[in-house]
């Protein structure tokens, strides 16, 4: 699939001044400026995150009310229910809040809604459970900001709500005791990009400040918070960067036993990075809720006995293997259904598993780059997930077809929806019309943002050592991507892997060559063989073999030299 390379630019005078102030190369100066870092002090904050850089949690609207309500529950001996969504952000949030509050609250439980019976967010069934079991307070995490009717229902039953959410509020917010969400228009909290777990952590931090509990007592929860940040794809800036910096230290030195067990089954036990969290740990936590019930994920994350945690992890790994198998088989079927002539994709089947349709939608976009909806049918209702392409507002396109939906929700790049079977054909036509009227050809072509064009000889250990200090990586601070032009393979490049789908190159340099690996890029061998010159797009990586580390390029794309 052809990709557009978008070369990013910066102010040369600012780059030069910053590079001089930091005594670094202009390549590094340029990378920093692209990330919004233009002064020595900003660079110091970036490279040396400190816990003291965290904001006062009481700057968040309703924080005092939330802390006071928890304190009242403790004083009066009330039962507290910790409620969270079934994805990684929700389950890590619940595990964190439950683990902390069970040291403070006499009677406490957690509740995760069933993905298939209750759906996303606050459910009436969950509120009924709270009432029937005499819970006076529900602390909702990673959900609830739009649960106006549900909270009204809870109020009628005498059940209070504290909502900790990070999704965009609607025109009206629920009538809860306290709503913690920095994205509220009248909330003056300085950092707006926390995960749901991040908002929950700020509540814990505020409770500790009020009760003179030292911050060192809650550092242990940064491992869970870091998993949420990586999995929920929130910007790796500000407080998220501070949390992740120290959370990764926690994961690599003293992780909770549940995470340790999950990392073992994922074969990620040394020098764990955000990438390892996103692609190793997070899918396994998610798999529990996709295949069985997400409470299984919370069970392992709150476990304190490693032997028990290992048993949980083995079961979750079975779920993950099942999830992978479903993902592969459904993706294969769905690819055969795609209409090449359309600018959108909507595919469906009554044989598909609802728990993996979001993953499948993302897989389809990797092969056919256009707004995509994947639906699973049950009892005459099709329910599924939608994924978008760069810069295209998927939510708005679905909103134009809202009258055909039973319900829908989401944001610009991802959404969930359900449709009656009799409305599906019309929905497909209307969605295609909505997409076709607003999408551009540029949006239908994948784009790679390139940090800088550099000579292949400029890739060295010194540059890589500094780039490593840019981590943790994530949105707004992605691993730098470079382009080098007129490159030639030294003749040892080849297709590798059992099915020869990957590409290994050895790019010539002035005095040596440097290896590169392109996963899924085996077909590009035709562009590099027989001394052809080519332009390559890559990030700088490290390969370890038999205890020896060497630089290697992680290829992203190749083109004939232009």
In terms of DSSP bridges, do strands 548-560 and 513-518 run parallel, antiparallel, or are they unpaired? parallel
Report the candidate in 304, 356, 311, 312 with the shortest Cα–Cα distance to residue 330.
Answer: 356
Partners of 384 in the β-ladder:
375, 417
Locate 362 and state its tokens.
């993302």
Residue 480 in contact with residue 451, Cβ under 8 Å?
yes
In terms of DSSP bridges, do strands 447-450 and 414-420 run parallel, antiparallel, or are they unpaired? unpaired
Helix axis angle, 461-468 to 26-34, nearest 10°: 20
Alpha helices in 444-549 (DSSP H): 461-468, 525-528
Terminus-to-terminus CA distance in the chain, angstroms? 18
Q: Can you say whether residue 268 is alpha, beta or left, with left for phi > 0 and alpha for psi between -120 and 50 degrees?
A: beta
Q: What is the pLDDT of residue 158?
A: 97
Partners of 489 in the β-ladder:
507
Q: What are phi and psi of 105, to 5 degrees?
A: -105, 135
d(CA 228, CA 198): 8
* DSSP SS3 for 411: coil
Residue 92 in contact with residue 85, Cβ under 8 Å?
no
Beta strands in 121-256 (DSSP E): 135-141, 160-164, 178-180
d(CA 199, CA 187): 13
Partners of 164 in the β-ladder:
141, 180
Distances (CA, A) of 350 to 344, 378, 381, 492: 21, 6, 10, 48
Q: How many CB atoms lie within 10 A of CB 446?
A: 15
d(CA 419, CA 384): 9
Q: What is the pLDDT of residue 413?
A: 85
d(CA 177, CA 184): 15
Distances (CA, A) of 177 to 272, 535, 561: 39, 58, 62
Profile the chain (562 residues) by mean pLDDT over runs of 10 residues: 92 96 96 96 95 96 98 97 93 97 95 83 94 97 93 97 92 96 96 96 98 96 96 93 96 95 91 92 88 88 95 92 92 94 95 90 94 93 92 92 86 87 96 96 94 96 95 94 96 91 95 94 93 95 85 95 82
All structural domains of the chain: 4-10+448-560 (2.40.50.460), 57-314 (3.90.1640.30), 329-444 (3.10.310.30)
Residue 476 in contact with residue 513, Cβ under 8 Å?
no
Partners of 417 in the β-ladder:
384, 408
Q: What is the pLDDT of residue 508?
A: 94
d(CA 426, CA 383): 16
Alpha helices in 157-215 (DSSP H): 196-210
Q: What is the pLDDT of residue 107?
A: 95
Tens digit of each residue's pLDDT (9 = 90 or more) over 24-71: 999 999 999 999 999 999 999 999 999 999 999 999 999 999 999 999
Q: CA 550: distance to chain centroid?
A: 29
Q: What is the pLDDT of residue 67?
A: 98
Locate 175 and state its tokens.
């009538």
Position of tokens 């989401």?
Answer: 410
Report the candidate in 320, 321, 295, 299 with the shortest Cα–Cα distance to residue 310.
Answer: 299
d(CA 199, CA 496): 45
Tens digit of each residue's pLDDT (9 = 90 or more) over 474-502: 999 999 999 999 999 998 999 999 889 99
Q: What is the pLDDT of residue 379?
A: 87
Report the candidate in 232, 165, 167, 176 with the shortest Cα–Cα distance to residue 202.
Answer: 165
Q: What is the pLDDT of residue 414?
A: 85
Locate 510 and state its tokens.
């002035």
Q: Does a cis peptide bond (omega within 30 degrees of 0) precede residue 472? A: yes
Q: What is the pLDDT of residue 263?
A: 95
* DSSP SS3 for 240: helix
Q: What are phi and psi of 80, to 5 degrees?
A: -120, 135
In terms of DSSP bridges, do strands 482-488 and 533-545 run parallel, antiparallel, or are they unpaired? antiparallel
Burial class (CB in 10 A: 0-12, 13-18, 19+), 396: exposed
Locate 380 and state its tokens.
């005459």
Locate 508 and state its tokens.
């010539």
d(CA 390, CA 476): 15
Locate 196 and state its tokens.
């749901």
d(CA 522, CA 4): 20
The DSSP-derived string for 290-330 is HHS-THHHHHHHH---HHHHHHHHHHHHHHHHHHHHHHHHH
Alpha helices in 80-147 (DSSP H): 88-101, 124-132
* DSSP SS3 for 242: helix
Q: What is the pLDDT of residue 115?
A: 78
């Amino acid at each position: 699939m052809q990709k557009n390379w978008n070369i990013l630019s910066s102010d040369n005078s600012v780059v030069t001044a910053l590079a001089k102030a930091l005594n670094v190369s202009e390549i590094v100066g340029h990378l920093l400026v692209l990330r919004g870092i233009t002064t020595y002090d900003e660079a110091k904050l970036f490279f040396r995150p400190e816990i003291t850089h965290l904001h006062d949690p009481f700057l968040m609207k309703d924080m005092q009310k939330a802390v006071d309500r928890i304190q009242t529950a403790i004083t009066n001996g009330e039962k507290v229910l910790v409620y969270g969504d079934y994805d990684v952000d929700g389950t890590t949030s619940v595990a964190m809040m439950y683990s902390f509050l069970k040291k403070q609250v006499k009677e406490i439980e957690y509740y995760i809604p069933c993905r298939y019976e209750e759906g996303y967010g606050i459910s009436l069934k969950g509120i009924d459970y709270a009432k029937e079991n005499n819970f006076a307070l529900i602390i909702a995490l990673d959900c609830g900001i739009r649960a106006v009717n549900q909270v009204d229902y809870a109020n009628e039953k005498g059940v209070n709500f504290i909502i900790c959410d990070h999704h965009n509020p609607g025109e009206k917010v629920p009538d809860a005791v306290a709503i913690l969400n920095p994205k509220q228009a009248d909330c003056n909290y300085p950092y707006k990009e926390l995960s749901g777990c991040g908002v929950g952590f700020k509540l814990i931090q505020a409770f500790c400040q009020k009760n003179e509990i030292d911050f060192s007592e809650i550092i242990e929860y940064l491992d869970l918070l870091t998993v949420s940040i990586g999995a929920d794809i929130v910007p790796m800036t500000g407080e998220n960067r501070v949390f992740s910096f120290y959370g990764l230290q926690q994961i690599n030195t003293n992780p909770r036993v549940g995470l340790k067990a999950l990392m073992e089954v994922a074969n990620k036990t040394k020098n764990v990075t955000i990438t390892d969290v996103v692609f190793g740990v997070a899918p396994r936590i998610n798999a529990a809720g996709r295949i069985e019930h997400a409470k299984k994920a919370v069970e392992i994350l709150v476990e304190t006995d490693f032997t028990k945690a290992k048993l949980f992890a083995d079961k979750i790994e079975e779920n993950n293997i099942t999830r992978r198998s479903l993902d592969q088989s459904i993706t294969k079927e769905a690819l055969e259904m795609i209409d090449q002539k359309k600018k959108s994709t909507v595919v469906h089947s009554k044989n598909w598993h609802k728990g993996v349709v979001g993953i499948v939608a993302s897989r389809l976009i990797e092969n056919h780059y256009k707004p995509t909806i994947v639906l699973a049918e049950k009892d005459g209702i099709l329910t599924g997930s939608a994924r978008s392409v760069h810069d295209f507002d998927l939510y708005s396109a679905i909103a134009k077809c809202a009258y055909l939906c039973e319900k829908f929700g989401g944001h610009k790049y991802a959404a969930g929806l359900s449709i009656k079977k009799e409305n599906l054909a019309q929905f497909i036509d209307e969605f295609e019309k909505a997409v076709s009227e607003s999408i551009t050809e540029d949006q239908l072509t994948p784009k790679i943002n390139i940090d800088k064009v550099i000579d292949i000889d400029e890739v060295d250990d010194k540059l890589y050592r500094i780039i490593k200090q840019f981590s943790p990586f994530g949105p707004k601070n992605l691993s730098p991507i470079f382009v080098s032009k007129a490159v030639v393979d030294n003749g040892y490049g080849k297709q590798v892997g059992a099915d020869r789908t990957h590409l290994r190159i050895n790019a010539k340099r002035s005095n040596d060559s440097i290896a590169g690996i392109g996963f899924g890029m085996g077909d590009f061998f035709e562009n590099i063989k027989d001394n052809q010159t080519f332009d390559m797009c890559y990030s700088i990586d490290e390969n370890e073999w038999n205890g020896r580390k060497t630089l290697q390029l992680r290829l992203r794309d190749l083109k004939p030299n232009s």
